[in-house]
Amino acid sequence: MLKSDATPENGSKIQKAWGRLSGSSDRPPRILAVANQKGGVGKTTTAINLGTALAAVGSRVLILDLDPQANATTGLGIVPGPHDPIAYDLIIGDATLAEVVVETEVPDLHVAPTSMHLSGAEIELVRAPRREYRLADALREQAGGYDYVLVDCPPALGLLTLNALVAADGVLVPLQCEYYALEGISHLVRTVKRVKSSFNKNLDIQGIVLTMHDKRNRLCGMVAEDARKCFGSKVYETIIPRNVRVSEAPSHGKPVLLYDLRCAGAMAYARLAREVILRESEIIGMSIHQ
Ligand SMILES: Nc1ncnc2c1ncn2[C@@H]1O[C@H](COP(=O)(O)OP(=O)(O)OP(=O)(O)O)[C@@H](O)[C@H]1O
Ligand SMILES: [Mg+2]
């Protein structure tokens, strides 16, 4: 497994800069599926950078890359070798989580990487016993060491995303501030309801994250307003701006918080992490150490 130039000092710097927000505990991990069947809305960017920001404030975080495009894997500077176990092996039961996870250059941020091989998983899964529960079973048994598991879903509502939704406590929905954004989301909301009634009664939309917002664009403002009208407080206060540093970071194999800690995109993901932790604390009554 190749990793980019790991410098744990970088991550420690962020940890110090923001102080400890969250308290690690022996609770089971909160599993959040980062999902939206629409492509290119900021799922992977949110998984990577929210995960980094949560780790930076003291949480132990696993990003599980469930998308055969492997963008979360490469965006964190990981290139699995042809024989390295990947998330697919975990789902199929050929590898344990410990065998699959890789450290990143951010302390306490691990990734269960993937590669194009995962594209075969959906076909194999169709015939597997408990096919909807494969990820849920694996994480329930093996993810105890983490505070958060963020599952980066592919842009489809197939069996891989279904596995994420069945395993999850909540769904984080990145919503790109553009025309038609809300139409796509109603389909996702219906899917979440169906999964809740058939497979996972605890599932709920945890929150909606407005992404790639351009304040000079009136349409962006209108989409943000409509989203708040439709979904009220489910929409996080933090809006992720469109920011060139955010889009550059993956080509360097780094979260934007390591690539340019002070840029508007990095600061927004840091604020989002605080909101996510606060919302979690409301949901599960966790104590917050500021
Ligand atoms: N805040 C942002 N500012 C600028 N560019 C962004 C921002 N967020 C995401 N992008 C860019 O937009 C593109 C799509 O983002 P991303 O890959 O996170 O979306 P996705 O929903 O995971 O896509 P897919 O559905 O293909 O998995 C990427 O090139 C990414 O770098
Ligand atoms: Mg993606």
**What number of residues does the chain have?**
290
Q: Whose CA is nearest to atom 30 of ligand 1?
A: 247
Please check whether residue 287 lies inside any domain of the structure: no
- pLDDT on residue 72: 98
Establish if 186 belongs to a structural domain: yes
Q: What is the pLDDT of residues 110-142, one digit of tens each?
A: 999 998 776 777 788 888 899 999 999 999 999
The CA 285 to ligand 2 mean position distance, Å, reads 31
- The verdict on residue 93 lying in a domain is yes
Residue 15: the pLDDT is: 47
Q: Is residue 4 part of a domain?
A: no
Residue 150 lies in a domain: yes
Residue 119 resides in a domain: yes
Domain encompassing residue 38: 23-279
Q: In the prediction, which pLDDT does 17 show?
A: 40
Ligand 2 centroid to residue 172 C-alpha, Å: 13
Q: What is the CATH number of the domain that holds 41?
A: 3.40.50.300
Q: What is the pLDDT of residue 285?
A: 64
Task: Give the β-pairing of 109-112 and 235-241.
Answer: unpaired
pLDDT at position 1, please?
53
pLDDT attached to residue 288 = 43
Q: Closest ligand 1 atom, CA of 45?
A: 18
Q: Extract the residue ranges of the chain whose pLDDT is less than 70.
A: 1-26, 118, 284-290
Distance 267 CA to ligand 2 centre (A): 21
Measured CA to CA, the distance from residue 139 to residue 148 in angstroms comes to: 11
172 found inside a domain: yes
Count of structural domains within the chain: 1
Q: What are phi and psi of 215, to 5 degrees?
A: -70, -15
Whole-number pLDDT of residue 183: 83
Distances, alpha carbon 236 to alpha carbons 141, 165, 195, 278, in Å: 31, 20, 23, 11
3 within some domain:
no
Per-residue pLDDT, 22: 44
Least Cα distance to 181 among 217, 152, 209, 150 occurs for: 209
Q: Is 255 in the pocket of ligand 1 (CB under 6 A)?
A: no
